[in-house]
Structure 1
Amino acid sequence: MKAFLILEDGHVFSGTSIGSAREVISEIVFNTSMTGYLEVMTDPSYAGQAVCMTYPLIGNYGICYEDQESNRPWIDGYIVRELSRIPSNFRSVDTIQHFLEKHDIPGICGIDTRALTKILREKGTMNGMITVNENFDLDDIIPRLQKYRTGKVVEKVTCREKKVLPGKGPKVALMDFGAKRNIARSLNERGCQVTIYPALTTAEEILADQPDGIMLSNGPGDPKECTSIIQEVKKLYDSQVPIFAICLGHQLMALATGADTHKMKYGHRGGNHPVKDLKTGRVYISSQNHGYVVDTETLDERVARPAFVNVNDQTNEGLEYIGKNIFTVQFHPEACPGPQDSSYLFERFIEMMGGTK
């Protein structure tokens, strides 16, 4: 079946339909990872977005449900150059095609993903539509695309009730703004007792449970949309509890302490982004997924200082809070883009909480 990808600037790509045949409007972004496509599809940070994979062949090692970052995929749509329909991997239990169909996610393959990525890099992230309707009307569709907004997606992806992962070490309160599964697992494997809280949980409830540390997770959307959550994060900042924040959590802590964030032209999404530790000068290859960034020019130097920077474009990748046991990073230390050397940040967090008990 034919399918079309229509961008809000009028570009139209023609390809083959994969997954669901329903029509979808979404923000179109690209990811530069060569592997990890299942982790991408099931990362809650992609809620409200359709993902174009820049690597030309996707699906050759199939689907292994153990690798999911949540219980379901969150992407709105999926865009690939070539889809491998016969995976070869002893762990594979499914194909991408069936996975997309099962979860009613539309996709398109057979388009020039390199050309699409160049458009998004030059013009910036934009909205688009995936449709199988050959009789589409651009005059009708383009105004609809230009009006589309992802809105408040954190409340859509967060857990609905508190959950505890037992452990004999420090008690960690994990705020679920769209947390990848491996964040809780990384803490739990290090002996921590992890309590996962819904995104709208009050600071008073969290602090009443007397955690040894608080983790603010990753998540989707514009951090400025999370107005009520920012107020609760401010209360957590004012407490004396050690805090470690990742991605959206990093941005929310910055907003809660008076700094500003802005939308990037096309964001960082992939498993190959170099970040530099400003204290040691060491560079780490990191996994990233974000379209917004903290504006370091708005930082109060009495509150926080930059701790990491992106080597490619010099944008902020982490903050250290002065006089507080708080540090935050924009990248994902729990991910495994190949190297796992930034996972030491979990050990640093555990030391801040008093070490393993």
Structure 2
Amino acid sequence: MPKLPTRAELQHQVDVLHSRFAELQVQPAQTLSDLELALRERVKELDCLYTISVLQETHFHSRDRFLQSVTDCLPRSWQFPEYACARITYRDKAYVTERFAESQWRMTASVVVDGMPQGTVDVYYRTVVPSAADSPFLKEEYALIRAVAERVGSVLTHMKAEADLRDAHRTIQMEHQALQESNIALRAVLARLEDEKQAIRASVLANIQKIIMPIVFELELEVTGRQRSYVTLLRQSLQEIASPFLTQMARDYVQLTPVEIAVSTMIRNGLSNKEIAQLRCISAATVRRHRENIRRKLGLRNRKVNLATFLQSAPGRDSASNSYSAASLTDMETETSR
């Protein structure tokens, strides 16, 4: 596509032609009439292209006003403006001059937008005009209408790109706003679920502390021997439920199996290998293998660290574990160490 002249270039050409036309007016008219006529037509053509450049800047955001203004300026750029009328069609809409009428004297050029013909620029003479040639139109006018159609197509392409960009920007803004609202709603739902979870946990812990633990504590004082070991393990397991030890072990040491976590809880509560074997109905050798696997997975192999002490130093000894008297705990530890 040839490069279109800029507004400044068109203005410069118009000024030069006006100066040249003024010089020619002082010479004999009979020798310069043809040249004067050609210059007049050239001035009108350049003035037409310059006017379209001005309209492009003035009505860039209004396609209808731009096309109608371009249509209105076309007749005066032709050789016989008093007989000329014009029409620009774009898609399914037409823009016409006053007293527009189709006739057999017509010239046209296609308006191309985004590489596809989208309309036409048409200039008619409503009636026959005085012309010695076979066609009432000058060859320069054919070049002019092609230039007009090309410039109109270029402006419409830019307008369409700007409109698409604005639509995309509005869509993105709407989606962004919807996403923000969804995030706010989601955070509210998550906060409500977290509150409900905390409320349920607090209710369960309160029921354990107020209802179950007093019964287990009284039962532990009444029984002796092996039965007391079972009750002690039950009490300690309930205390672990009320503390984050099991949750933290499962989260921090994902390689531990459920059996190893259960054995870790018993070791943490001070049970011996023999007591763990009795309670789980396994051999003492199996308990020792569990202890070795637990030390390896906790990174304590070849380290002089007591496993029970290491487990007891882990977070989880919250207030639920200390809600009973020191004397009762001492009695129970003495019993479990037998």
Q: Same fold (TM over 0.5)?
A: no
Alignment TM class, shorter chain as reference:
under 0.3
Under a length normalisation based on structure 2, what TM-score does the superposition of the two structures give? Answer: 0.17
User: Which one has a larger percent strand, Structure 1 or Structure 2?
Assistant: 1
Under a length normalisation based on structure 1, what TM-score does the superposition of the two structures give? Answer: 0.17
Higher relative CO (CA 8 A, sep ≥ 6), structure 1 or 2? 1
User: Which one has a larger percent helix, Structure 1 or Structure 2?
Assistant: 2
